[in-house]
Amino acid sequence: MARACRLVDDRVDGYLDLLKELFPHTGHAWIVGVTGNPGAGKSTVTDRLVELWRAQGKRVGVIAIDPTSPFSGGAILGDRIRMQRHFEDPDVFIRSLATRGALGGLSRSAVDVMRVLDAWGADVVVVETVGVGQDEMEVTRTAHSTLIVAAPGLGDDVQAAKAGILECGDVFSVNKADRDGADATMRDLELMVALGRRVVGGGQLTSVGSHSGAAMRRETGGVDSAGAWVPPIVRCIATQNQGIDETERWLEEHRKWVMDTQAGQERRHLRLREQMENEMRNALVDAAVRDIGNQLEEAIGSVSRRETDPYTACERLVAAFRKG
Amino acid sequence: MARACRLVDDRVDGYLDLLKELFPHTGHAWIVGVTGNPGAGKSTVTDRLVELWRAQGKRVGVIAIDPTSPFSGGAILGDRIRMQRHFEDPDVFIRSLATRGALGGLSRSAVDVMRVLDAWGADVVVVETVGVGQDEMEVTRTAHSTLIVAAPGLGDDVQAAKAGILECGDVFSVNKADRDGADATMRDLELMVALGRRVVGGGQLTSVGSHSGAAMRRETGGVDSAGAWVPPIVRCIATQNQGIDETERWLEEHRKWVMDTQAGQERRHLRLREQMENEMRNALVDAAVRDIGNQLEEAIGSVSRRETDPYTACERLVAAFRKG
């Protein structure tokens, strides 16, 4: 497994053949995105979720993209030691993509490694990211279910995530819920979810509040009467293992919605489309670098001497590459 | 100006012709990236810098990509009101790209709007971003000089930014330097800068400590004996206007290094190459969507029915598009 991941990650000769061969064995895994600002505690939440899934006998893969994640070897030593038990579990496979650098190919590698873990027989693949930026958004949007971990008192983190959070979050967890500001963070998230529903025109909630843990929960989530998913918001204290079982049950409920309903199917198809568009884009660029790499060099020289404007230069490059 | 920006931003018919026409009038502006986590205070630092540049008679453009920025209409009301004076100044032009959504085209729009501001006659164009993610990194890397604003007590923000910060930061500002943890943040940044220098093999510092404000500053930056730029780290309290003049002077020193030295020229060329690669990539994708959009639809269907694997499907799509 480690070798297959490395092959795919480093794009060693033959990696595409391997991925093609593995593809028929994929399609089983449930991909769960876990996203949140550094310091929100998403690694601790993930750690606890992995524990729950393992207790259910599920095989789990973890792809950590955040370089500060203890799963990537970052963060404080205590966390790393606690998560060590997962590293030693043969039914948990952890792969860090943190070292690949910021530019180019992060989302591509993540998708490829997801497929490797899927073919390995993972029941759940967790993809842990800091949820800001296009590349990360692309990764998050490949997930079937996305958990957003927020925490009070982390600057404007809710606001910062706002742009992407509404579309991407399926379950929200307000971690460190015993801290000052937890109520404000809950209110912010509730408002955002309500606004998002009004924008897309949601129906009435039907399966709200089906879970226990009333003291930690508000009745905000589930499938509404129009069949749409309304993100629940769960209070957590991950370090004390509070609210994690409820988070897991909501995620599971969302999994059923994605896998079994018409609306869920449509969403999966939409995500597949995005993914294919990304993959085509990457394949195009690879081919263009092979075919017209020399002309690109000339174009750069010409633009830097200000003989050509970059827009005209790009049009010429595309014309040199395309058939039509 | 506002109309030109909107035309370019919305890619209205004819926008490419406008950009081609404007290009010969560009090349004058100094592009300054200001990057940092939400809550670090980069908008306040930017606000103060704009004030200094205006006092020098410079014409200033601001492109705000962070949706929480007061320049984008986000953040708390007090900040927005303070920054209002810049909105009313005819020699300051502020453009927010915050509403363009997270996926696709953010860096492209930013580069185009930069060129519009450059042609308008801006002496300085500030691009304010939350410095995480590929798209944002791309924007940051189009800047001549990049200021990273950090602040103590914002979770693991320094660690989070680590991946990109070393390559992108030309000047570091530790804002809110009167808060607990400022010394630790300074130490972290100093260590990172030192590690970065060891990796690239820097020479001895020659122009270190040429500025005043000794109480607020450590001697860590300038041009070293090998001609390379070593990022200085400046303590700031932007709300009290402390450390901003020094930050501005270091940025100006960096501007001279980028514009006037051989090493700076090389860096500018490298950045231009990256930018052209990005622009070519975007132009390729636009053309592919026009030429083989239908085939892409078919491929998505085929992959979703699991008749084809996505890798083979992409190879076929590229083959349908390319000449070679």
Q: Residue B228: give its domain's CATH number.
A: 3.40.50.300
Q: B216 pLDDT exceeds 60?
A: no
- Beta strand ranges found along B190-246 (DSSP E): 222-223, 229-230, 233-235
**Residue B55's pLDDT is what?**
96
Across B45-49, B210-214, B232-236, least confident range = B210-214
Residue B217: pLDDT band (50, 70, 90) is very low
Among B211, B241, B261, identify where a domain stops. B261
Neighbours of B202 (CB within 10 A): 18
Among A211, A227, A261, identify where a domain stops. A261
Distance from CA of A314 to the nearest CA of B (A): 5
Query: What SS3 state is found at B211?
Result: coil
Q: B54 pLDDT exceeds 70?
A: yes
A246 and A303 together in one domain: no
A19 and A107 together in one domain: yes
B39 and B135 together in one domain: yes
- State how many domains chain A has: 2
Residues in A touching B271 (Cβ below 8 Å)? none
Residue-wise pLDDT tens digits, B128-187: 887 655 566 777 778 999 999 988 876 444 444 445 555 678 999 999 999 888 988 888
Across A159-173, A175-189, A300-314, B129-143, least confident range = A159-173
Residue A272: pLDDT band (50, 70, 90) is confident
**Which residue range is the domain that position A303 belongs to?**
262-324
Mean pLDDT of the B84-103 span: 74
**Residue B37's pLDDT is what?**
74
Among A239, A261, A283, identify where a domain stops. A261
A135 and A238 together in one domain: yes
CB contact under 8 A, B38 and A155: yes
CA neighbor of B20 nearest in space, from A313, A232, A53, A298: A313
- Looking at per-residue pLDDT, the higher value among B25 and A204 belongs to B25
A248 and A281 together in one domain: no
Residue A286: pLDDT band (50, 70, 90) is confident
A253 and A202 together in one domain: yes
Whether complex ipTM tops 0.90: no
Across A250-259, A283-292, B18-27, B54-63, least confident range = A283-292
Length of chain A in terms of residues written: 324
B126 and B25 together in one domain: yes
**Residue A66's pLDDT is what?**
67
B202 and B311 together in one domain: no
B152 and B288 together in one domain: no
CB contact under 8 A, B134 and A23: no
Residues in B touching A322 (Cβ below 8 Å)? 287-288, 291, 321-323
DSSP states along A176-240: STTSTTHHHHHHHHHHHHHHHHHHHT---BSSTT-SS-GGGB-S--EEBTTS-EE--EEE-BGGG
Average pLDDT, chain A: 81
A142 and A270 together in one domain: no
Q: B220 pLDDT exceeds 90?
A: no
**Is there a contact between A176 and A41 (Cβ–Cβ < 8 Å)?**
yes
First CA to last CA distance, chain A: 42
- Looking at per-residue pLDDT, the higher value among B97 and B47 belongs to B47
Across A70-84, B45-59, B198-212, least confident range = B198-212
Residue B210: pLDDT band (50, 70, 90) is very low
CB contact under 8 A, A160 and B312: no
- Looking at per-residue pLDDT, the higher value among B81 and B35 belongs to B35
B291 and B230 together in one domain: no
B181 and B324 together in one domain: no
CA neighbor of B169 nearest in space, from B1, B324, B34: B34
CB contact under 8 A, B159 and A322: no
**Residue B289's pLDDT is what?**
84
